[in-house]
């Protein structure tokens, strides 16, 4: 046996390495709810320790883990905690973290049933659960991908396949050159990953027929052009700024009659369908053809966990199909026919665990709580002079601004510096705004009040600062 192999056998048998990392994990979890939400300047500076040449020879595993924990841990953002409101992130349900850890050691790749019977089984089970939870057509198929970016890509690839196939054009064989034209109709508020997918698929963003939106960011249904069977209509469940939902009920019915392919980007919002008090928002989604949704946002699975759902299984598997002399197809589920990748990690392990753990009522309660916290945030922040809420709180997003773009920017920067909570900025109908996304199971009423106080402090700092400048 050579030296490195010998060493690795020792490490896997002598449990110290794993005990050490387990100890760090537990310490991390213990502190995550109380620590600064964003890393300190010092912690970020210290990352320079990683700037080194690839070591010439093997080093100690213990030291590798030690370095990672000492310098990596303080430079993490506390997305797992209750006061990280940036982007639309989501925490992780504890059982999901534990299941992920177990799955990590199994190291499964559910490309084919024969490669991972457990991965294949869980994917089949969760596919059914999701269809049931989202009330989608019974014949819908699911692909388990890295996130909604990929799920959007897959849904639109299936749409492209089907529309061209109807025109006697096999996209896989003939490519796009000289192919029949595909129309794309979507909202001016479509998420940038939708545009990215359109670009990657060669459909061209210049070909988009843009539809104007109302003051919440929803498509104005009357402005949708004539639709036909060569059209992909892309709708949104959960606007990334306002959380607003397109009016699926009226739009989808009309589009379906025209045999239009409807794709819904529901990265975080599709989950409204699983909540009794919120599923009025997703009424009509069952009439779409494909849907993209994340586990790692609203459902709080660990990263990376996205799902593409498609009612046209043949289009989806044709768009993503591959074959090879060594591939062993089974009568059970071979996951790779539903995803762009062949090998991928078995993220289904966490997804299954969390759905099994929460059950329907647990999912409902967790998501409704996020909504209530968002409403609480809006109510509390509006009581403070100088803050304005710019959207209707239908789901989990709150858009806040101050009296001017300049003040909003400065206050946001102060909030970020305080590190008591974290959020980012955006532009909403031409105005600079702060966007608060509440999508962690761990956010308590107290977290909201504490964060609102941090906003207040940040505004006071700005006023004091402005006065000082004025006096000088």
Ligand X SMILES: *Cc1c(COP(=O)(O)O)cnc(C)c1O
Binding site for ligand X (CB under 6 A): 88, 147-149, 191, 193, 238, 240, 265, 267-268, 294, 306
**Which lies closer to ligand X via its Cβ, residue 112 or residue 399?**
399
* Distance of alpha carbon 425 from alpha carbon 67, whole angstroms: 33
Task: Identify whether the C-beta of residue 351 lies closer than 8 Å to the C-beta of residue 301.
Answer: yes
Q: How far is the CB of 420 from ligand X (least distance, A)?
A: 24
Which two structure tokens, joined as six digits, stand for 90?
């989501």
Q: How far is the CB of 32 from ligand X (least distance, A)?
A: 22
**Which lies closer to ligand X via its Cβ, residue 81 or residue 306?**
306
* Distance of alpha carbon 338 from alpha carbon 315, whole angstroms: 10
**Which lies closer to ligand X via its Cβ, residue 147 or residue 335?**
147
Contacts of 175 (CB under 8 A, 6+ apart): none
* Distance of alpha carbon 61 from alpha carbon 59, whole angstroms: 6
**Which lies closer to ligand X via its Cβ, residue 196 or residue 283?**
196
Q: How far is the CB of 317 from ligand X (least distance, A)?
A: 22
**Which lies closer to ligand X via its Cβ, residue 377 or residue 395?**
395
First to last CA, the chain: 75
Q: How far is the CB of 150 from ligand X (least distance, A)?
A: 7
Which two structure tokens, joined as six digits, stand for 23?
């100890």
Q: How far is the CB of 86 from ligand X (least distance, A)?
A: 12
**Which lies closer to ligand X via its Cβ, residue 193 or residue 454?**
193
Q: How far is the CB of 67 from ligand X (least distance, A)?
A: 29
Put residue 253 in one of left, alpha, beta given phi > 0 → left and psi -120 to 50 → alpha: alpha
Return the residue nearest ligand X (CB atom): 147
**Which lies closer to ligand X via its Cβ, residue 150 or residue 287?**
150
Which two structure tokens, joined as six digits, stand for 384?
């403070």
Greatest alpha-carbon pair distance for the chain in Å reads 79
Nearest Cα neighbor of 319 from 296, 344, 290 is 290
Q: How many CB atoms lie within 10 A of CB 133?
A: 17
Q: How far is the CB of 151 from ligand X (least distance, A)?
A: 7
């Amino acid at each position: 046996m050579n030296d490195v192999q010998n060493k690795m056998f020792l490490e896997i048998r002598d449990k110290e390495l794993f005990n050490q990392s387990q100890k760090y994990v537990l310490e991390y979890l213990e502190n995550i709810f109380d620590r600064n939400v964003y890393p300190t300047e010092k912690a970020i500076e210290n990352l320079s320790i990683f700037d080194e040449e690839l070591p010439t020879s093997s080093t100690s595993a213990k030291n590798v883990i030690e370095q990672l924990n000492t310098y990596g841990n303080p430079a993490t953002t506390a997305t797992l905690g209750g006061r990280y409101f940036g982007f639309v992130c989501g925490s992780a349900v504890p059982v999901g973290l534990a299941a992920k850890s177990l799955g990590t050691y199994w190291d499964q790749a559910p490309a084919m049933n024969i490669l991972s019977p457990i991965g294949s089984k869980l994917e089949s089970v969760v596919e059914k659960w999701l269809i049931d939870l989202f009330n989608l057509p019974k014949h819908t198929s699911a692909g388990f991908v890295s996130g909604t970016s990929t799920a959007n890509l897959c849904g639109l690839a299936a749409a492209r396949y089907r529309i061209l196939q109807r025109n006697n054009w096999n996209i896989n064989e003939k490519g796009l050159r000289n192919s029949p034209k595909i129309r794309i109709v979507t909202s001016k508020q479509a998420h940038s990953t939708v545009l990215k997918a359109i670009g990657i698929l060669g459909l061209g963003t210049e070909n988009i027929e843009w539809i104007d939106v109302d003051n919440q960011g929803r498509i104005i249904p009357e402005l949708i052009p004539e639709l036909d069977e060569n059209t992909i209509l892309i709708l949104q469940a959960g606007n990334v700024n306002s959380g607003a939902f397109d009016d699926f009920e009226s739009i989808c019915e009309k589009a379906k009659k025209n045999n239009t392919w409807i794709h819904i980007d529901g990265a975080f919002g599709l989950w409204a369908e699983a909540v009794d008090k919120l599923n009025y928002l997703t009424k009509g989604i069952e009439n779409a053809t494909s849907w993209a949704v994340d586990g790692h946002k609203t459902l709080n699975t660990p990263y990376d966990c996205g799902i593409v759902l498609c009612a046209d299984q043949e289009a989806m598997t044709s768009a993503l199909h591959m074959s090879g002399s060594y591939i062993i197809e089974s009568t059970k589920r071979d996951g790779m026919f539903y995803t762009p990748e062949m090998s991928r990690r078995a993220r289904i392990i966490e997804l299954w665990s969390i759905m099994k753990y929460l059950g329907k009522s647990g999912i409902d309660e967790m998501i409704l709580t996020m909504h209530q916290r968002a409403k609480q945030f809006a109510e509390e922040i509006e009581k403070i002079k100088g803050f304005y809420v710019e959207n209707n709180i239908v789901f989990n997003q709150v858009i806040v601004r101050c009296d001017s773009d300049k003040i909003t920017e400065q206050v946001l920067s102060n909030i970020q510096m305080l590190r008591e909570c974290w959020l980012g900025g955006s532009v909403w109908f031409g105005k600079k705004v702060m966007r608060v996304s509440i999508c962690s199971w761990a956010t308590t009423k107290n977290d909201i009040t504490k964060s609102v106080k941090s906003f207040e402090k940040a505004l006071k700092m700005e006023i004091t600062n402005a006065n000082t400048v004025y006096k000088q």
